[in-house]
Amino acid sequence: MSQSYFPPRVTSPIKELVNFSSMAGERQMKAEDVQEAYVEQKDRLVNALDNTKSILNDIRKFNKDEWVVRYPQLKECASVPAEEVPRRRSMRRSMSFADDPATETEVVVKQGMTRSVTLSSIPDSKEEEVESELEQQGDIQDDNSLLPSSDFHVLRLDLKLGANSSSTAASLVSQLEKASIANLLDDRIESSVNHVDKLRLRVEDTSSKVLVTGDLNAGKSTFVNALLRREVMPVDQQPCTTAFCEVHDAAENQGKEEVHIINEGATYNINDETTFTRASLADLEDIVGDNEDSERMLKLYLADTRAPSESLLNNGVVDISLIDAPGLNRDSLKTTALFARQEEIDVVVFVVSAENHFTLSAREFLVNASKEKAYLFIVVNKYDQIRNKDKCRRLVLEQIKELSPRTYEDAEDLVHFVDSAAALQPFTANPSFDDLESSLRSFVLVKRSKSKLQPVTTYLSNLLCDIDLLAGANAIVANSELEQANAELAQVKPVLEKMKESREILEESLDTAEEEGTSKAGVRTKSVLNFALERVGQGKLGVDAPLVPMPSYPGILGVWNYARDVKRALLASLDAAVKLAEDEARLITSDGVERIRLLGDEHLPEGVEKNKRVFVPEAMFSAVRRGKGAMKSRRSSSYGSNAVVAGGTLSLGIGLAQRPELLETTFLDLFDAHHHFSMYLGDSHKGEKDEETPATALGLVSVGVGALTMVGGQAVGVKGVIEGLIRVTDLFGNETVRKWAAPVVGAFTIGVTAYLVLELPNSIPKTIGRRVKAAVLQDGEEASFIDSHSERISRETRKVLRLASWDLKGRFNGAMEERGQQVKLKETMAKTASAAKAYFNEVVKKTEEVRVNALLNEVA
């Protein structure tokens, strides 16, 4: 006798159930063992379900709070053509993710003893190691059913992805964000958790339901009565059963024998009186008769006084309930078929009359039911009525072979030819019915394990396999993100450290550059202006290449204009000297800016944008030419907004040659009495060339001219001089004066003439130069010409250098902040990825533990 309700090569306790069922004669004795094995495996599965649920809930939480769980997709490696590679190569898979189908990573799917799948990225697993490992598993791979699945079973998302997916579908999916897919996955996991809850309830449910159905009048009620050894169900030659009568042990109803008529639309609850109406067993026939057309559900509680080893209901092992269903007439076929498909129906017992064999409706029912349950228990009733029993047996079995092949294979256990009516006769031996009863008991018990535990086992195996795939793939992603973050950290962190270290040095260097540039510009300005002023003081042009040349002496008649032109030329040369100083400052500033640029090159990390600002030396000191036109031209300047434009302030000197008060020419410009007196009295300044000039008559002339200026005031022209002379001659009216005046006038005349002829061309520039020098050095309340220019130019230089230095500092600080943020980001990324990697590896470990503890490895 072979019994194969389970696949071959099974070593679990369930296998013992099978063995039990195949050992005729020992069935009753082993009933307790069966139950024990069942309970053990049930407990293991309940435990596994609880642990799996906790893993799933944990993944959901992790997905929500810590890590967006990626949904992997495995397919055959496109790079390895199937016909060219050894079989073991099929373990290589190409992994992509639903949110990024274009990026594929080759992975190795390590096949365990079961459907468990361990993923590892190619670099993680040494090629040879993998190959040899796979070779060792050769025998397992020969079994196609054990080949690793390249996709999810339970947690599959309907994303229309995969090896055969069209590019359109793939591109559509690629638009899905990681987070949306993680949400879809979360929903899927949630429904899986709910299913786990349902499975747990089902596994914990100790009852087992046996549905008895068959053709009209086939003897179903008689058969149920025979099993109960009591005439409980109404038996009639007329078709009578229209209700579903579910028979339970009275122990479930506090030992009370009773009928509960379930109220229409109510969900039966034995503890809720509103869901049913109580009735006496004696009224059952009437109740069934009254409800002929309503297909009511009745609950019958019966006390079976027989020993547990004999009784089906009171078997001491499981709570079995028998359901006497209406015959398969046209109206109830559908209802019964539907009923048979319900999950809680563990066993379908089909009663067929030996006289009629299988009717059309019976065939239809059997074909459908065998799809659902595979094994059916068939009772060929009224066998006593058959004369040619062998022929009947042969014909019935042939039909069963056709209708339910699996049942036919185990016909010895599952197909019974009996006389149910005779079984009800007291004290009459009925071995065939006893055999049927015994087989049915075993079948119910074994089927119970099968029907209740197998779906859980299969579901759990698939689910754990999916969790493995999910966790393995995410561990790979986490690992690659960790590596990437660490690699990026290795690049960015030293840069940041270096920047931190060099920040102070850079700031100091920039301050130095600014200070040095500024002071150099100031010093140079002073030196240039000093030199120029010195020369001007000597009556020479302040610069070698003057804008206005020194005029040539035009003769005595043009002396006035000559003095004015000399003054203008000298003043213009001072202006040119200022310009020269500015030009030098420009060069110094350029050097400073370049120095700052080099500091930037030295201290700024790679990839930082170069200074967009352009230093335009010409734009320096441009604001001094203020006025509407100047401002306008600056605004419309071609230097653009990024040009370093630093304007100086209008101070002394710029445009000296344009300042009317300085240009004003007086006699003092021609004859500097004070100077000549000083010279004459030997109070000249040290170092002045005039010091060497001998005190001649010219000195006296100067005195005269000085007097003249006293008379004529400051602003006299040639006309003024003549008028002065006339006024002097008036003095000659006086007698005393007339006496000594003659020689004086004579000397004066000679002196003036000599002076005019000989000295004026040389003395005018010197005099004017001296006066100009004195004027620009003591210009009102303002600082001296040299100091104010030096201050202005150095301020301007500082402004430009500071701007360049601030710009560099800004970019340096910006770059440092950016690097700091990058480091922070990468550190967080590395931390998250590292935690995720550890977490998913732990999940893989946990699922393996669950699998091992639930003995799933042995029954898969």
Ligand X SMILES: Nc1nc2c(ncn2[C@@H]2O[C@H](COP(=O)(O)OP(=O)(O)OP(=O)(O)O)[C@@H](O)[C@H]2O)c(=O)[nH]1
Which residues lie near ligand X (CB under 6 A)?
216-222, 235-237, 239-241, 327, 381-382, 384-385, 419-421
Minimum distance from CB of 431 to ligand X (Å)?
15
Burial (CB count within 10 angstroms: exposed 0-12, middle 13-18, buried 19+), residue 179: exposed
Minimum distance from CB of 5 to ligand X (Å)?
28
Minimum distance from CB of 337 to ligand X (Å)?
16
Minimum distance from CB of 297 to ligand X (Å)?
15
Closest CA to 805 of 505, 511, 500: 511
- CA-based torsion, 131, 134, 139, 142: positive or negative: negative
Q: Which is nearer to ligand X, 327 or 537 (CB)?
A: 327
Q: Are 64 and 186 in contact (CB under 8 A)?
A: yes
Which two tokens mark 456? 């859980």
- Count the Cβ atoms, other than its own, within 10 Å of residue 38: 22
Q: Which residues share a beta bridge with 211?
A: 323, 348
**Cα gap 525→535, rounded to integer Å:** 15
Strands of the 258-262 sheet, one edge to the other: 276-279, 258-262, 297-302, 244-249, 319-324, 207-214, 345-353, 377-381, 415-417
- CA-based torsion, 424, 429, 432, 434: positive or negative: positive
Q: Which residues contact 412 (CB under 8 A, 6 or more apart)?
A: 1
Q: Which is nearer to ligand X, 381 or 589 (CB)?
A: 381
Taking the CA atoms of residue 306, residue 308, residue 309 and residue 312 in that order, the dihedral angle to the nearest 10 degrees is 80
Q: Are 232 and 300 in contact (CB under 8 A)?
A: yes
Minimum distance from CB of 439 to ligand X (Å)?
17
Strands of the 72-76 sheet, one edge to the other: 72-76, 92-97, 100-111, 117-121
Q: Which is nearer to ligand X, 154 or 312 (CB)?
A: 312
Q: Are 561 and 609 in contact (CB under 8 A)?
A: no
Which two tokens mark 247? 């028979």
Minimum distance from CB of 215 to ligand X (Å)?
7
| Whole-number Cα distances in Å, 854 to 35, 88, 216 | 17, 29, 45
- Name the one residue in this structure whose structure tokens are 């009511």: 296
Q: Which is nearer to ligand X, 290 or 384 (CB)?
A: 384
Element of type H or E holding 113: none
Q: Which is nearer to ligand X, 291 or 484 (CB)?
A: 291
Minimum distance from CB of 415 to ligand X (Å)?
15
**Cα gap 285→264, rounded to integer Å:** 19
Q: Which is nearer to ligand X, 419 or 466 (CB)?
A: 419
- Name the one residue in this structure whose structure tokens are 């204009």: 561
Minimum distance from CB of 201 to ligand X (Å)?
32
Closest CA to 68 of 154, 140, 176: 176
Q: Which is nearer to ligand X, 302 or 856 (CB)?
A: 302
Q: Which is nearer to ligand X, 285 or 584 (CB)?
A: 285
Q: Which is nearer to ligand X, 95 or 436 (CB)?
A: 436
Q: Which is nearer to ligand X, 420 or 439 (CB)?
A: 420
Minimum distance from CB of 238 to ligand X (Å)?
7
Q: Which is nearer to ligand X, 94 or 420 (CB)?
A: 420
Minimum distance from CB of 217 to ligand X (Å)?
4
Minimum distance from CB of 437 to ligand X (Å)?
14
- For residue 183, the SS3 value is helix
